[in-house]
Structure 1
């Protein structure tokens, strides 16, 4: 069920005080400043006003539309198909994709009825605005299931479900942020409590995202699974420039650089950045990429390994060890 958003009255212009600066819009939507400017020029949307200094200000309605657009991009649609559509049209597209999304989750995450029910229960807990209850529920599930199944069978579909609930108006941004913050704490605690694997050797994996990629929860999920495999993980967080990634990989003697991408990037920009990074990294340093960005799966790049699913990490690590 979708929630209709009441449009902001248009009989009078919005005062500047009600507009949001571009830095806030970037943070709230996950869409980079450059992307917003390109769309403004190419599609005529968003259409910000200007303050006295000439800086862009975005109305709350446009920000809501941008959030919906981001969800559709994460689902595989191209900007030309969705940028500029009304809130109602964007919500209709999300509703149409709901059945396909549920089918995809069922296939990729092997969600049985018990896990599906657990996702719904956790969504309700998020909506109750009780961080302690959410932390207890996630922590209990992690201890009961074990870290690897917790990440692949529960957290992965739950994260997508939270995004869909937000896009459909069931959750507000602060509720999505609450989920991310609590889950980050649970995963960090679980990773810290793991007993080191003295028998296994390597690899050392450097984890990060490229500039304008604000989403770091996927990196943390990957880190949890890699640590379980005995890898040494070095996380730089999000939005690391290519040259800094190369310097960090050299400083930490990384065997593998692992990057996460959502679908907010243009395919050409993703490929250009990966080619540049691949050329700058030593040939012996592997480059792994994954995420919802469809450009990663459309045209394989030489020297770049694409992680199709979280379950692919274990055989990739085993393959690296066998080769070394």
Structure 2
């Protein structure tokens, strides 16, 4: 078998990026490769899987059809043209027939800016809302439902990946500006919170939302960004003398990776270091995790900080 052309490898992307782009886990991609013969990744000199753009496009179509009720075994081997045909027949994914969820009422102008690919208009609308509401209400009443809406509309086929990326970039920049201003004022109190995600989690918008609300409670925050190895999280918590480690998990995480990461991290962190988790990953709230506090709603951050202070600041 001939080796792939160098230019093919240059435009292909690694499996972690495919997982992020499509919402399909690495394990799923590998199983489909063996079971259905698709995807068919290239291999680089290190034998890592690399996926050409046309295969990523097909995977996105397959994911949309699965969201509409199709089983992967029926569609995984279909060519892109046939997938597009099925997609057009699936009314649940139709832009004209899908009704907007009721919680979109107050954020339609921002969604329209995303659809128009107008980053400047989106930023202006967000900044106006932040100035009108204040940072706390802005995060809870605008950013949280808007983020949910973008995710739901992407799953319904009404947003493309690049539109979701535009949203994430603009919102992240707005929140970082707010955090910079907030960080230069106010008294920093305990707990000191280290924020990050595990290596399998590349989404960082949730961290910025949590950091904003924690800083409004007067907490000291240290953000490591996303995808920090467990061993580095432990070392960073020790170096910064963190009282709390806070992790964000999106719904792209598998139950096995969440369970393994939390067990390992909890066992390696000092017992006096609290471990808080949150995000859209359902497994976090389907069972109790020993030594771990799962926060389902952002609105509960104030109470969580208050409970910590009552327990530790006597």
TM-score strictly above 0.5: yes
Q: Which runs of 5+ in 1 are unaligned?
A: 1-14
Change (3 A) 1:71 1:142: farther
- After superposition, give the CA deviation of every residue in 1:35-56 in whole Å (9 maximum; x if it has no partner): 5324534x53742154697764
Shift of 1:267: 1.1
Structure 2 SS opposite 1:303: coil
Structure 2 SS opposite 1:203: strand
- After superposition, give the CA deviation of every residue in 1:271-319 in whole Å (9 maximum; x if it has no partner): 1210110010000000001111121111111100000110111100000
Contact 2:93 / 2:157 at 8 angstroms: preserved in 1? no
2:30 alignment partner in structure 1: 37
Computed over aligned residues only, the root mean square deviation of the Cα atoms, in angstroms, reads: 3.6
Structure with greater contact order relative to length (CA < 8 Å, sep ≥ 6):
1
Structure 1 distance, partners of 2:25, 2:196, is 17
Change (3 A) 1:49 1:90: farther
Which residue, out of 270, 277, 282, partners 1:289? Answer: 277
The correspondence of residues 1-324 of structure 1 with structure 2, limited to 5 A, is 17=8, 20-23=12-15, 24-26=17-19, 28-29=21-22, 33=26, 36-41=29-34, 43-44=35-36, 46-50=38-42, 56=49, 58=51, 60=53, 62-64=55-57, 66-67=59-60, 85=75, 87=83, 88=86, 92=90, 95=93, 102=101, 111=103, 116-194=104-182, 196-198=185-187, 201-324=189-312
Structure 1 distance, partners of 2:241, 2:44, is 50
Q: Which runs of 5+ in 2 are unaligned?
A: 77-82
Q: TM-score, normalised by structure 1?
A: 0.77
Shift of 1:20: 3.2
Structure 2 distance, partners of 1:202, 1:150, is 24
Contact 1:213 / 1:262 at 8 angstroms: preserved in 2? yes
Change (3 A) 1:213 1:101: farther
Stretch moving more, 238-247 or 52-61: 52-61
Structure 2 distance, partners of 1:49, 1:140, is 45
Change (3 A) 1:52 1:146: closer
Shift of 1:193: 1.7
Give the paired residue count. Answer: 293
2:79 alignment partner in structure 1: none
- After superposition, give the CA deviation of every residue in 1:234-287 in whole Å (9 maximum; x if it has no partner): 111111111000000001111000011112222122112101100100000000
Shift of 1:157: 1.2
